[in-house]
Amino acid sequence: MCELFAMSSSAPTDVNHSLALLKPRGGEIGPHSDGWGVAFYEGSAARIFKEPVPAAESRCLAFIAEYDFKSETVIAHIRKANPEKFGRASANTHPFEREWNGRSWVFAHNGKLPGLRDRRQFALRRFQPLGETDSEHAFCLLLDAVAGSGTRVRRALSARVIVERIRPIVEQLARLGELNFLLSDGVSLIAHAHTRLHALRRTCAGECGTCNVVLLATSPLTDEPWTQLRPGSIHVYSGGKEIVLPAGEPESPGVVRRRGPSGRIENAMLHGDLQ
């Protein structure tokens, strides 16, 4: 399988230490030796670096782990090809990227979805894969669902709308196999914890005040108190906090609930167009 990593932050932050800890899992102390990739969002665009080589041996990743790339949203992946016949190739290396509605959409997957590409119910429409993996096919399916009729909207979709559009596909795909994934448009970071995904919350003091940070990883990277996300759950993060989407109850337009510093649910404005 593969390993996932992501960060959501309230201010541009580097992930140097986390990447340095993830790097040896890619072929040195872990079996994920078939590629690595990391995406740093800069507004609506993602700066993506990836190679179909072991992360532990990559001079490029070693440089990135020491360079101060800062972002509010980061997605990273180290790959173990499964099945092996879909081996090392740039087109098979996560994270994958597509443009829709004037934004970069980035996706990384941990798991296996046997028979996905052979089932007519999962035929693709607008978005098509460049490589051979079921992961990229699943990404294209999710983006087809997000795009809907294909009509562009003026602003980024709200997290609620994105989740509502992808949830039926997520439920169908999860029946095929294992579907842990990270998806982002640079505003919302959406995580599906099908079987195994952990979260860590940090509060850091910086020159511009307090910075809230959420880290996600397949397996904890440090000895800090990481929390395993409930299997089968979808989580949304923005600005270093988790957005708690209402479960089947009406909300005022543009308002969602999120957990405040005390852990209680409070109202918060959500970016984007709710239509």
Residues annotated catalytic, as ranges: 2
Give the residue from 196, 226, 29, 51 showing the smallest Cα distance to 111: 196
Are 226 and 217 within 8 A, CB to CB? yes
190's tokens? 């959406």
107's tokens? 């996706």
164's tokens? 């509502």
Are 238 and 271 within 8 A, CB to CB? yes
Burial environment of residue 29 by CB neighbours within 10 A (0 to 12, 13 to 18, 19 or more): exposed
Are 33 and 27 within 8 A, CB to CB? yes
DSSP code per residue over 214-243: EEEESS-SSSS--EEPPTTEEEEEETTEEE
